[in-house]
Structure 1
């Protein structure tokens, strides 16, 4: 076999698709379900549940405005059932898509021995190998950690937990908190350091006050012990409820341990062409660390595939857009390569404009918030934080312009789609140029 790809998550699936498009022979090996964590345990599950919570949130707002009277009855087990039904359909589509390019898909657990791949008692030689085995939830070394849930358990729950203690302070912690708080749980977030440290102070304030106001936040809080129905903090406080770990991820790199060079955190060490220190072995996605985001994994998988097929390609990590999937999306991007000193920075912020999915929020002042930081000397955008129903597409588009190193003057011909990108348009074109 010319090319073998191990793992069919975003990196492996897109890498094998790219190889197929380039006319390469491909064997894609998957241990469990095609499409990896994203579809089966991660992003898509969060998005599905957040679609439900957005509906609940909108219903509550309309009831409060007085022009709609309705009461929602939630059936969590039916939500889970329909998510699983949808996953089955998407798995079939993903498999059909990959096979349509002539790729062979084999289900089973792979191992590497003496330069060959072994799976289901079969042995396969390869010219090039792409390891895209992803990552799994990291469970901290805390007494009683076996009682804690992770994202892998969301679709195993029979009902919404009455009380939930989410351990972690990042994006996943916030998204899970929003979901179960809206569904009726009493939620605490226990962050070892600062909660949502990727956001600006004002953006974080808006999230806490307007989007997740009913969630209790404990910052600089360590966990001493986890029990079946409570957690004990390091300062002796007992908090009732089920524990949920959102404490990061650890790479599934055991398959290549002792074969390729690993980083100190056990992620696979790769260069900008996604090559390991072994000439014909590549790696991509969460198993390599860095940005553990589906679009980044796709980009890395495609980059690896092109190099495996002999088309020189390098990956770039500048201006990576990110989002929190909440009842109102929170999206952000920064130019990591910016060397702008503080004296050359200027920040302009304003409330969101009431457009699609935000018009009725004007009555309560919850239309959103956008903040843009500029480099005055070099006439560039340094950073964007945006809260609005359209922020996901807005920030993705603007991150591309940042990545292409456009000057602010180049935005003069930007034509917004009304009413979605109005806030960015107003800040960048009207207030700055």
Structure 2
């Protein structure tokens, strides 16, 4: 077999698809379900639940305005049923897509021995191998951690928890807190250091005051023991509620530990071509560490595939846009390669941007917040933090301008679609140029 791909998450699935399109022979091996964590346990599940919480919030707002009178009855059991039903449809489509380019998909747990991959009592030799086995939730060494839930358990919960203690202070913690607090849970977030270190202080302030005001935040706080329905803090305080770990992820690199070189954190070490320490073995996606984002995993998988097929390709990680899926999206990007001097930095903060889905937010003054740092000397964008109903598309588009190193004067030819891209207009054309 010329190419074997182990793992069908965003990296492995897109790599296999790319190889198939390039006319390459491919076996794609998947241990559980095609499409990996993203569809089955991760961002797609979070997005599905957040769609519901946005509807709940919109319903509450319309009721408060007085032109709609309705009372919602939430069935968590039915939500889970319909998410599961949708996942099955998407798995079928993802499998069809890969098979349509001639790829062979095998379900089973793979192992590697020299130049042979074994699965389901069959052995396959390969010319090129891609390891895209992803990552799993990291569980800290805390007494009673076996009582804690993770994102893998969201679709296994019988009902909305009355009280929930989320251990962790990053994006996943914020998204889970937003979901269950909107659904009616009493939610605590317990962060070992600061909550949401990825974003600017003013952006964080807006989130806490306007989007997650019902969530209790404990910063610089350690959990020393978890129980079935409570956690014990280092200061002796007990917080009632089911423990939920959102403490990062650990790579599924065990399959490669005696095969290729690993980093200190047990991720697989790769170069910008996604090559490992062995010439014909590649790795991509969460198993390699770095940005654990679906679009990045896709990009890495495609890069690996092209190199496996003999088309030299490199991956770049500059200006990666990210988002928090809350009841109003929070998106951000930073140019890590910016050489802007402190004296040339100019920050513009816009407290309220309307745009798509924001008309009825204006009455309450909660249309969002955007903070943009410019390189005044070189006429470039350095950093954006944006909270608005359209921030996901806005920041993705603006990150491209940053990545391509465009001068902001080039943006003068941009013609927006009202109201979908009004935010772009206000940030760049109206406020800066």
TM-score in terms of structure 1 length? 0.99
**What are the Cα deviations for residues 223-250 of structure 1, in whole angstroms up to 9, with x where unaligned?**
1100111001111110000000000000
How far residue 343 of structure 1 moved from its aligned partner, in angstroms, is: 1.3
Distance 2:315 2:69 in 1: 52
Q: What is residue 248 of structure 1 aligned with on the other side?
A: 248
The answer to whether the aligner puts 1:308 opposite 2:326 as a matched pair is no
**What are the Cα deviations for residues 310-368 of structure 1, in whole angstroms up to 9, with x where unaligned?**
00000000000000001110100000111222211100011333232111111111101
Q: Which moved more, 1:423-432 or 1:56-65?
A: 423-432
Q: Which moved more, 1:184-193 or 1:412-421?
A: 412-421
Tell me, what secondary structure is at the counterpart of 2:357?
coil
Tell me, what secondary structure is at the counterpart of 1:117?
strand
How far residue 112 of structure 1 moved from its aligned partner, in angstroms, is: 0.4
Distance 1:361 1:394 in 2: 18
Distance 2:94 2:427 in 1: 40
Number of residue pairs matched?
433
Q: What is residue 271 of structure 1 aligned with on the other side?
A: 271
Q: What is residue 431 of structure 1 aligned with on the other side?
A: 431
Q: What is residue 317 of structure 2 aligned with on the other side?
A: 317
Residues 355 and 421, structure 2, Cα contact 8 Å, conserved in 1: no
How far residue 419 of structure 1 moved from its aligned partner, in angstroms, is: 1.1
Q: What is residue 338 of structure 1 aligned with on the other side?
A: 338
Tell me, what secondary structure is at the counterpart of 1:355?
coil
Distance 1:294 1:220 in 2: 29
TM-score in terms of structure 2 length? 0.99
The answer to whether the aligner puts 1:5 opposite 2:5 as a matched pair is yes
Q: What is residue 234 of structure 1 aligned with on the other side?
A: 234
The answer to whether the aligner puts 1:66 opposite 2:66 as a matched pair is yes
Distance 2:246 2:339 in 1: 32
Tell me, what secondary structure is at the counterpart of 2:29?
strand
Distance 1:209 1:101 in 2: 50
Distance 1:314 1:352 in 2: 39
Q: What is residue 35 of structure 1 aligned with on the other side?
A: 35
Question: Could you say what the CA RMSD is over the residues aligned between the two structures, in angstroms?
Answer: 0.7
Q: What is residue 387 of structure 1 aligned with on the other side?
A: 387
How far residue 408 of structure 1 moved from its aligned partner, in angstroms, is: 1.4
Residues 370 and 423, structure 1, Cα contact 8 Å, conserved in 2: no
Distance 1:77 1:158 in 2: 7
**What are the Cα deviations for residues 386-430 of structure 1, in whole angstroms up to 9, with x where unaligned?**
111111111101101110000111111121221132233223112
Structure 1 stretches of 4+ moved >4 Å: none
Residues 330 and 392, structure 1, Cα contact 8 Å, conserved in 2: yes
Q: What is residue 206 of structure 2 aligned with on the other side?
A: 206
Distance 1:51 1:430 in 2: 31
Distance 1:432 1:62 in 2: 35
Distance 1:335 1:354 in 2: 26
Residues 390 and 423, structure 2, Cα contact 8 Å, conserved in 1: no
Residues 349 and 427, structure 1, Cα contact 8 Å, conserved in 2: no
Residues 147 and 226, structure 1, Cα contact 8 Å, conserved in 2: yes
Residues 324 and 331, structure 2, Cα contact 8 Å, conserved in 1: yes
Distance 1:176 1:338 in 2: 33
How far residue 306 of structure 1 moved from its aligned partner, in angstroms, is: 0.1
Residues 354 and 360, structure 1, Cα contact 8 Å, conserved in 2: no
Q: What is residue 414 of structure 1 aligned with on the other side?
A: 414
**What are the Cα deviations for residues 104-155 of structure 1, in whole angstroms up to 9, with x where unaligned?**
0000000001220000000000000000000000000000000000000000
**Aligned positions of 1:85-96 closer than 5 A:** 85-96=85-96
**What are the Cα deviations for residues 204-241 of structure 1, in whole angstroms up to 9, with x where unaligned?**
11111111110000010111100111001111110000
Residues 334 and 383, structure 1, Cα contact 8 Å, conserved in 2: yes
The answer to whether the aligner puts 1:102 opposite 2:106 as a matched pair is no
Distance 1:388 1:28 in 2: 39
**What are the Cα deviations for residues 141-189 of structure 1, in whole angstroms up to 9, with x where unaligned?**
0000000000000000000000000000000000000000000000000
Distance 1:336 1:322 in 2: 14
How far residue 376 of structure 1 moved from its aligned partner, in angstroms, is: 1.1
**What are the Cα deviations for residues 78-102 of structure 1, in whole angstroms up to 9, with x where unaligned?**
0000000000000000000000000
Residues 346 and 376, structure 2, Cα contact 8 Å, conserved in 1: yes
Distance 1:127 1:26 in 2: 11
Distance 1:243 1:89 in 2: 32
